[in-house]
Amino acid sequence: MSGWVAVAGLGPGDERLVTEEVRAALAEATDVVGYIPYVARVTPREGLTLHPSDNRVEIDRANHALDMADKGRRVVVVSSGDPGVFAMASALFEALEARAAPNLVDIRILPGITAMLAAAARLGAPLGHDFCVINLSDNLKPWELIEHRLRLAAQAGFAMAFYNPRSSSRPHQFARALDILRLECGNERLISFARAVTTPEERLLTVSLGEATPEMADMRTVVIVGNADTRRVGRFVYTPRSAR
């Protein structure tokens, strides 16, 4: 039996947002590999082995999946959101490239709805024009690079979405990010905090940059900053398709 690896996005949290393509792969799988809370979203069944692992072991996880596929197993590597957005798809290819003689097993990347897109939909359409996405965690890149990219994105006039804005181990960095945004964009620019979107813990908040505080975000929050044209209409936030 030929093995394969599917790297699948489980979406932002609501099981209704898992694609049928991902459901079909999980139904065929012999093994599921992933970060502990993501594997916990997969329903156990006979013939399926779950392999949860801790955070920050992405390459080990990818190698485990490739090793099992080489032996004929049908492996799904699960990520939240989309596997190509700050997730396991790139880690799998990095592990594959590092192998002395990579066995090119059947590899499929199955897209999912990102937390960023789910948050934008809940808010209205704040990403309706050109936008960029920045991961504010400095686990895999230096904070100086994050600041540099943040300044340039703000100066370029992009709407911006931020992942991993604030953790207990680095609470000061998001405060610094807000200072940079206020300097480059002004105090009146709209900023939205979308926490745990599509789950029962969902919370949405939109304020001006001048009103924003670091405590409004945590690691389950996607932060979206509008561009100069972003505005409110009723309870919604949107960015027009045309730019001034």
Q: Is the pLDDT of residue 56 over 90?
A: no
* Assessment of whether the complete model's pTM goes beyond 0.85: yes
Give the lowest-confidence range in 3-12, 24-33, 104-113, 200-209: 104-113
pLDDT, mean of residues 60-85: 95
Mean pLDDT of all residues in 88-99? 93
The CATH-assigned architecture of domain 4-113 is 3-Layer(aba) Sandwich (3.40)
pLDDT at 242: 83
User: pLDDT tens digit string along 154-183?
Assistant: 999 999 999 999 887 787 899 999 999 999
Instruction: Flag whether pLDDT at 1 surpasses 70.
Output: no
Instruction: List residues bridging with 107 in a β-sheet.
Output: 5
Q: Give the CA dihedral 61, 134, 175, 232, nearest 10 degrees.
A: -130
The CATH class, in words, for 116-238 is alpha beta
Which band of pLDDT confidence, cut at 50, 70 and 90, is reported for residue 244?
low
The Cα 212–Cα 36 span in angstroms is 32
Give domain limits for the chain: 4-113, 116-238
- The residues near 147 (Cβ < 8 Å, ≥ 6 apart) are 176, 177, 180
